[in-house]
Amino acid sequence: MNSLKFLLPTKRELAGFVRGCRATCFSFFHSSPETSIEVHSHEQEVVIALGSNVGDRIHNFNEALQLMKKSGINITRHGCLYETEPAYVTDQPHFLNSAVRGVTKLGPHELLRVLKKIEKDMGRTDGIRYGPRPLDLDVLFYGKFSIHSDILTVPHERIWERPFVLAPLLDLMGSAVDSDTVACWHSFPKQSIGIFETWEKLGGESLIGKEGMKRVLPVRNRLWDWSQKTSVMGILNLTPDSFSDGGKFQSVETAVSQVRLMISEGADMIDIGAQSTRPMATRISDEEELERLIPVLEAVLRMPEMEEKLISVDTFYSKVASEAVSKGAHIINDVSAGQMDPDMYTVVSGLKVPYVAMHMRGDPSTMQNDENLQYDDVCGQVASELYSRVRDAELAGIPAWRIIIDPGIGFSKKTEHNLDILLGLSTIRKDLASKSFAASHAPILIGPSRKRFLGEICKRSSAVERDPATIASTTAGVLGGANIVRVHNVRDNLDAVKVCDSMLKRRKPIA
């Protein structure tokens, strides 16, 4: 399904923004770089495209972001990450492409000099035009200015013909135009149609997922295209008090045995948790959590069966996250989305691993109180609150291309809220897209497995009796757009996922 068809604003809606902005948009510079046209009076909002197809492409992007920050470019948003076939010169490796949005006091030509220096520092040399390069940085937009000089043209003249530039550029925006500067970008005077319409004319979302252009997430030294199939995350609780299987897997031997079973049944990843987050659970310290976690984590990592699998660690402590990744964990799964440890975003930014940001109000001891259960529109409010968490994570340096979102089924939700979320994942994506297309494109993880609301509906007081209800909720979630399902019973849920994936492949796109 072409999701952008219903996410993009209509031509009439966008025209209202553009008409109100045309008079102030795009002051023109026609000059040489020696001419004094630099803008130092206040910060300008800029968009910079990134590309790389030589060496460790993800490392190149990470280094470029750090060097931009040190050079006076404050990055506020990141696009998704795209692996694309080379254009123009086709006999070369595939590129990674993305874009960032930020603010800077650097003037336009000063900004260009900074970016060219970063390219050189990263090993770029003069070579074939459009040929291989470790790093390519281009200024797409600079405030409301149109710049024409011997060495710089802004807006970048080839934005409109390149899907690999337009896709991450759109990611930095939302369907609701959030400022007059963004409205100016849409009203670029040489274009008869706007950015959204140009993207649709090139093929839009139908371009993504094909051989020539994939939206990917970097994990474990590989690029994961999560659109190919729904991933199954098996749950391993090392706690004595978890609601479903507390106390069963506290020894290293029983934990390893359970992981081996889940892998044999088809799990793609294992989520290890050493702290219970059930309602009213007693919080333990990060040190006690590590004492439970590390011996099991090390043993699981030694298992031959885990060679191609991913390990996620379920924690809200930054110290646990840091230690777990240093031992070899691949993903951090934070039920609080950074709200229970003020250092979490900064630490995860440095760890450079995928980060699951889950929606929850309060903490496990307060999440089910009356105040935290008040919603007027649960899908809209979950989307809004998740976007706030994603925005804060990005400002702390976690790129959107590393973020996975989880609407938090069972956390600060009543039964009806959980059902509305399972039915409304597309609504959550749409509401996220109003503010950030990058956030709306993030993989969605759902975790309804054996939750209390299923027991209330089916009159099953024992958690282990809720597997059939879990399969039903997993099915609804996958058909609604979930990309990862977190479950206790891997075998039966994997069968449900396979059927759902087969059905989705048969679904005909909406014209």
Report the alpha-carbon distance of residue 418 to residue 407 in Å, rounded: 9
Average of per-residue pLDDT across 62-72: 97
Distance, CA of 34 to CA of 423 (rounded, Å): 59
For residue 460, what pLDDT band results from cuts at 50, 70 and 90? very high
Beta strands 73-78 and 153-154: pairing type? unpaired
Residues pairing with 406 in the sheet: 358
pLDDT in tens, 152-174: 999 988 888 889 999 999 999 99
Of 5-9, 226-230, 323-327, least confident by mean pLDDT is 5-9
Give φ, ψ of 30 to 5 degrees. Answer: -120, 105
Counting every residue written for the chain, the total comes to 511
- Residues contacting residue 324 through CB under 8 Å, at least 6 positions apart: 293, 294, 297, 313, 315, 332
Of 49-53, 156-160, 335-339, the poorest mean pLDDT is in 156-160
Chain segment 173-199, per-residue pLDDT in tens: 999 988 889 988 988 756 667 889 899
pLDDT digits (tens, 9 = 90+) for 303-320: 999 999 999 999 999 999
Tokens of 58: 């993800």
33 pLDDT tier (thresholds 50, 70, 90): very low
Q: Does residue 247 surpass a pLDDT of 70?
A: no
Measured CA to CA, the distance from residue 437 to residue 485 in angstroms comes to 22
Instruction: For the chain, give the mean pLDDT.
Output: 90
State the catalytic residues: 451, 486
The angle formed by the CA atoms of residues 118, 124 and 129, to the nearest 5 degrees, is 120
Q: Are strands 44-52 and 95-104 parallel, antiparallel or unpaired?
A: antiparallel
In the three-class reduction of DSSP (H, G, I as helix; E, B as strand; rest coil), residue 314 is classed as: strand
pLDDT at 29: 56
pLDDT tens-place string over residues 271-290: 999 998 888 778 999 999 99
| pLDDT tier at 200, thresholds 50, 70, 90 | very high
Q: Nearest Cα to 411, choosing from 448, 442, 380, 458? A: 448
| Confidence (pTM) | 0.92
**H/E element, 324:** helix 318-327
- Name the least confident of 75-84, 129-138, 361-370: 129-138
